[in-house]
Amino acid sequence: MQDYGFSTDEDRERERASIALSAYGVDNQYQIEDYDDIGRNKYYGTVVSMLGVFVNDLVAPRLGLVRNSVWHYLDFSLFLTSFVAIFYLLKLFVSPWTAVWASVLYLTQPLYFGHAFINPKDTPLLSIFVITITLGFYIDQHKTWQPALDTSYSFHSLREDAVRLWRVWGKREQRGILSLLLAGAAALIFKRPIAGLLSRIVVTAYEVPNSLPGRALRTLAQNIAATPADAYANKAITYYGILHTVLLVIIGLALLLLVLRAFIREPDLWQNHPLYKHSCNPYLVLGGIVFGLAISTRTIALAAGGIVTLYLLWQYRGKAIRPLSLYFLMTAIASYLSWPVYWRYGVISMLTSGLGLLSNFKTQAGVPVLFEGKIIPASELPRHYLPKLMALQFTEPLVILALFGLGMWLFRILKQRDFNPQVKKQVLILLWILLPMFYVVLKTPIMYDAFRQFLFITPPLIFFAAAGVEFLKKHLPHSAFVILLLLALLPGLSSLPRLHPYEYFYYNEFVGGVDGAFRSYPLDFWYISTQEAMDYLNEVAPENAVVYVPVWSHHHAELYQRSDLVLPYVRNLDEYAGDPFQYAVAGTQYNLDQTLPANWVPIHTIDIAGATLTVIFEVRPDQ
């Protein structure tokens, strides 16, 4: 349970999740009242981390489990769900046995496997991205699709049904519907003005104690003297956002009940309607919901639904508008209800700002990146950074088969020139990886920690590997083909136990494995080896020993340190003026272990597959 320790991003993701959960009435352990307090981090969706944190904090303490362990397994369960989704996606194009093999190849990639446990942001995005596209590509495979698509329905039909629906309601219901619509419109139009007015009232109440709002505030708040006015204003706006959302939900449910009541009276109003027929398509409805949850995981997941939308419009043109309207309705409802930040800032503002942040991540421009043996700023990466790392961090069979399969697929497409529905889906799978790759190569955006931010674009490699295997299946003897498939799985299967629990920085033999990547490419950038280092120090260090730990891994060390050890928080070692250090724990990620004073002597290392991840030093008197 504790093998995977703790990654650097988990605290930030837990913080965001805690704020989001507080919108649903769950206690906020960070006592942060508003998303504004976490700056740009508010643009990262929280639906997966909310579930992970909520279930973890509910279950882990009762079972006596270590920090975040249940959360890790929930994220890994989502990854296993994407493994199933990969199988069904491939089954659309290749034989079932090839799909099984390729899915296992996906599951046994050490890079995916390690990230699935320890990465709270990028692997959930990868998983839900895959699931969204798989469900979307199955929409037109369901038996209800074509009958619903062929159902004739015009604007004239819509107008007639609307008139009939209005007449089904009595005058009392008609007045109620108009009142609900007006109330909903007013709530949407006046949301921001009311929020601003509420903020001013709270500030006035804070500054004028004898006013009615001032007396009310002091009755409700016991610690007003120690809390700034902005904190109360933000809390009031947060509660107002919750009430506003509840009001809209109540209005929506009331309107839905009135519509359902009319449909019960006149069943033919809905039984022959194409949207009703489309609503019987589980891939369409569930796909829309999952797409909404994907957006609430990361806004870049808009691309997943975009791929689905492009396919339906490409294949069915104007006929796709009706089912897509239902798809987007499900998306909007699921995303709005699962990401409370919308309730404060609005949908359009969050999505546009979030996408802008992702495309121009300037705040991390100075982050150091180890690449080809050099430490360079994240803003100065070479154009071949992403393609090269992808070629080095997946197993050799996957890289070779993917390139081979892509070549065979392109040859077949150019030869046949038949853009049937299957081929259109395959073209979009190619664009899934090709467009982001072109963007990265041409624009060289800021990246760091290898290419974890772009894990979501890599599943097409599995598809083209499967396409290559399908070609070989037709041209190789059966026994040789089976041996080839087994050998292709071997690098991943053998590396999983050999690298455990550090699978997330796997490197293949194109660079000489993890040993060959040492001091040339990113390895333990989340410093999870700090756990092993502290376990060693906890055994050998004398009581009250003072230990130097760099800021990047300081929090990791605090989680696993013996209670008497002293770990000063030091940003600049040259400026440290506290008690002298007796030990030091330094990672090798940026060659920090090679920059420490000469009298700091290495006494122990944390190694994996021939590479040193962390060095423990003993500080000895100058000779």
* pLDDT at residue 359 greater than cutoff 60: no
- Reported as a single tens digit per residue, the pLDDT across 557-582 is 998 899 999 999 998 888 888 889 99
Nearest partner of 614 among 528, 556, 546, judged by Cα: 528
Strand order in the sheet with 600-608: 547-548, 583-587, 611-619, 600-608
What is the chain's alpha carbon radius of gyration, rounded to the nearest angstrom?
28
The per-residue pLDDT for 388 is 97
Give the residue carrying structure tokens 């349970």: 1
The per-residue pLDDT for 34 is 61
- Reported as a single tens digit per residue, the pLDDT across 12-34 is 888 888 888 887 877 666 555 56
Nearest partner of 60 among 2, 9, 122, 142, judged by Cα: 2
**Average pLDDT of the residues in 2-9:** 71
**Average pLDDT of the residues in 597-616:** 94
What does the mean pLDDT of the chain come to?
87
pTM reported for the whole predicted model: 0.85
* pLDDT at residue 226 greater than cutoff 60: no
The per-residue pLDDT for 1 is 46
Nearest partner of 526 among 445, 602, 452, judged by Cα: 452
Q: Please check whether residue 51 is in contact with residue 13, taking contact to mean a CB–CB distance below 8 angstroms.
A: no
C-beta atoms surrounding 84 within 10 Å: 14
* pLDDT at residue 464 greater than cutoff 80: yes
* pLDDT at residue 314 greater than cutoff 50: yes
Residue 510 or residue 41, greater confidence: 510
Q: Please check whether residue 425 is in contact with residue 316, taking contact to mean a CB–CB distance below 8 angstroms.
A: no
Tell me the backbone φ, ψ of residue 103, rounded to 5 degrees.
Answer: -65, -40
Task: Report the distance separating Cα 398 and Cα 110, nearest Å.
Answer: 12
**Average pLDDT of the residues in 326-346:** 87
Residue 136 or residue 191, greater confidence: 136
**Average pLDDT of the residues in 239-268:** 80
Angle at which helices 96-107 and 460-475 cross, to 10°: 130
Task: Report the distance separating Cα 590 and Cα 440, nearest Å.
Answer: 24
Q: Of the ranges 191-200, 222-231, 384-393, 438-447, which is most confident?
A: 384-393
Residue boundaries of the structural domains of the chain: 9-143+349-516, 530-619
Q: Please check whether residue 225 is in contact with residue 251, taking contact to mean a CB–CB distance below 8 angstroms.
A: no
Give the residue carrying structure tokens 């839905």: 256
Q: Which of 231-245, 286-300, 334-348 has the lowest mean pLDDT?
A: 231-245
* pLDDT at residue 386 greater than cutoff 50: yes
Q: Please check whether residue 419 is in contact with residue 446, taking contact to mean a CB–CB distance below 8 angstroms.
A: no
- Model confidence band, residue 271 (pLDDT cutoffs 50, 70, 90): low
* pLDDT at residue 82 greater than cutoff 70: yes
* pLDDT at residue 501 greater than cutoff 70: yes
Q: Please check whether residue 48 is in contact with residue 297, taking contact to mean a CB–CB distance below 8 angstroms.
A: yes
* pLDDT at residue 99 greater than cutoff 80: yes
**Average pLDDT of the residues in 514-532:** 94
The per-residue pLDDT for 157 is 60
- Model confidence band, residue 66 (pLDDT cutoffs 50, 70, 90): confident
